[in-house]
Amino acid sequence: MNDIKLALLGSEGAGKSAVLVRFLTKRFIGEYASNTNSLYHKRLSIDGRQLNLEVFDPCSQSGESRCILEEPQDWADGFVVVYTISDRTSFLNAKNILAQIKESRRETCKGEAPICLVGNKQDLCHSRQVSEEEGRSLAQENKCLFQEVSAAENYLEISNLFTKLIRHVMEQFKHRGDRRRYSGSKSMAKLINNVFGKRRQSV
C-alpha cells in the first residue's frame, strides 16, 4: 500500500480546511478560524490501488510570512493551494505560495511537485473579484492543475480534483521509480510540534 502525502496551503478565509473536510467526509463545515496545524489520514482506492493518504493542513498563511518551510518539502508529494474567488488578496497570496513552493523545491533539489490551484467559493460569483481566466492563467504559468469549486455546494468537483492530483503524484512516483513511500508518518507529529509550533510562537 502506497503512502501519498499532500500539503494544503492558503490564506485565512480561503476555506481550505472546508475544502479538505468536504473531500474527507462529504460534509460542509462552514467557516471557522483554523489556528492549529492538523494532519488528516484517509484510506482510499484509486484505479484499483489501495492508498494511505495523509494531508497536512497548517495554520492559514498570511502574505507577509514565508509559509513554506524546508521540512514539509522533504515529505510532501503534492500541494493544494486554495484561494477564494471573492477575495483578490487571497489570490495574490496563492500566487506567492506557488512561487515559494517552486523556490523551495529548487533549493532542495526535490524537483517539481504536482500542484492543484483551487479557486474556492464559486457560489459567491455575485461578489467575484478574481476571474476564472486569471486563475487558469496563473495555473498554466506554474504548470498546475486548476479547478474552481464550492465547498459549500459541491462534493463531486472537490473529490475529482483530489483524485486527479493523486493520480499525478502516482504517475510521478512511477516515472522516477520512487520507493520511499513506506516511511509512514513516524516523524510527522514531531515535525508539527517542533517546526510549526516554534513558528507559531515566534510570530
Tell me how far apart the alpha carbons of residues 178 and 162 are, in angstroms, rounded to a whole number: 21
Q: For 103-147, how does the pLDDT look when each residue is reduced to its tens digit (9 = 90+)?
A: 887 776 777 899 999 999 999 999 999 999 999 999 999 999 999
Q: For 140-193, how does the pLDDT look when each residue is reduced to its tens digit (9 = 90+)?
A: 999 999 999 999 999 999 999 999 999 999 998 887 764 454 444 444 444 445
Find out whether 10 and 57 touch, Cβ atoms under 8 Å: no
Find out whether 8 and 57 touch, Cβ atoms under 8 Å: yes
| Amino acid letter, residue 165 | L
Cell readout for 63 is: 502574505
Find out whether 141 and 134 touch, Cβ atoms under 8 Å: no
Note if the pTM is more than 0.85.
no
Find out whether 128 and 92 touch, Cβ atoms under 8 Å: no
